[in-house]
Structure 1
Amino acid sequence: MSTAAEPSDAVLATLWSGPTGTKRGPKPRFSLDVIARAAIELADVDGLDAVTMQRVAERLGTTKMALYRYVPGRAELDAVMLDRGLGPVSLPEPDQWRPGLEAWARAVHARTARHPWSVELTQRPHVPGPLELGWYEAGLSAMAPLPLSGAEKLDTLFLLVSHVLSIQRQEAVPDPEAALARGIARIMDEHRADYPHTATAFASSASGSGRALEFGIERILDGVAALAARRA
């Protein structure tokens, strides 16, 4: 769910046609799902940097050279990890566009929270795989009644995803809002007169802790609703 890059033929083939190099010779020992699961398990425990072709091969009980028969390189492995990590979208059919998009954004947050490393891969320019494209389809389907262009609907999804990923990065730090508020409070002990509005805002921020995700979703969709109303 990011700006698309010019994909290599190998990335496209791996995402959309299955493992390369398996049309001849013996029946493939591994599926892309099995390979992706092994890589995802490594990333979930040790982070994205810990994922190498060698370590994935070891986890599968094979060799790195044998793994290349299924996944030509790291770019293809990353693409498969992201697509399988996002997984299929499963949301009820919305009665109205706004509850549908709210549920969609929360689902993106929940899915990426399950695999924190996916935030980095999602923000890299990439071409979506079949499962990620299913998330696009679900979000666009929710907006079908709106008098927006296709580009505007995509921009709405990108805004929601950007907000969700920003929150995910903040949540990677334990209680980030409280930590920031404590730091500001110490500064304001001596400099409150210079920054009165900042001091007041941070003093009240504790009561809104944990609301950042919903606040951003609501404000983005308020803007979409206002635009749709002007065109009605």
Structure 2
Amino acid sequence: MPVANLLEQLSVSAASQGAERIFLRLQQDDDVISSARLSGFFPLMQETLYRGGPLSEESGQGSLFDADARLRKKEKPDEYGLFRLHNIATPAEVRILSGMTFDQWASSHEQSPGRYDERVFDGKGTIRGWLGTARRSSVGNLATMLHPDDESVIEDIVIAGLRRLSNTKTVFCVVPEYQFALSRTLEQQNFRPEGDFITLVKSTAKTVRESNLARSALASREPM
């Protein structure tokens, strides 16, 4: 079966279960991209996968931010504050294409497998930054998001994350194309690009309408 048809079946199945959008992450040179475009997926953003190593717990911190004192455990009431931070830190064109409400955003979180930990720091009455780390066997994953006005502390946040992954051997970090400061900081910590990816998105609204029309057409042919 052609890939485009498989993706269309996926869209119908997802729509029937209440999904409003489908996100698809592929390698930049994947042949599936053209089929995805034909089946209604649109490019959302490009990402780079970085690979590097952890830092020991004894490693020094940066000079601008006391991560040990400022970073606190993320709590359930922080979710809406993180959604606001996401909207501020994400370019308008990406937000418009993804078009997610708070509930959709909260349910679409990617959580790395293994022992997962989330930290946030506050400032001016709002959440200004987020750090996520995950450990599974000897592999660690790092992710972070900062308010644009607080990017000066990106090195301190990355160092804090790498120290939390000190008992791993390899650390991966997926960086959206618009997080320039994060890419630069990782490279300063001897991380190197491992692969380029593209995330595509498709709204299932049209799929639902077409599916309903098809059911109506079939029903109209049934004998009375």
Q: TM-score range by the shorter chain?
A: under 0.3
Report the structure, 1 or 2, having the larger strand content.
2
User: Could you tell me the TM-score, scaled by structure 1's length?
Assistant: 0.24
Larger radius of gyration: 1
Higher relative contact order (CA 8 A, sep 6+): 2
Report the structure, 1 or 2, having the larger helix content.
1
User: Could you tell me the TM-score, scaled by structure 2's length?
Assistant: 0.25
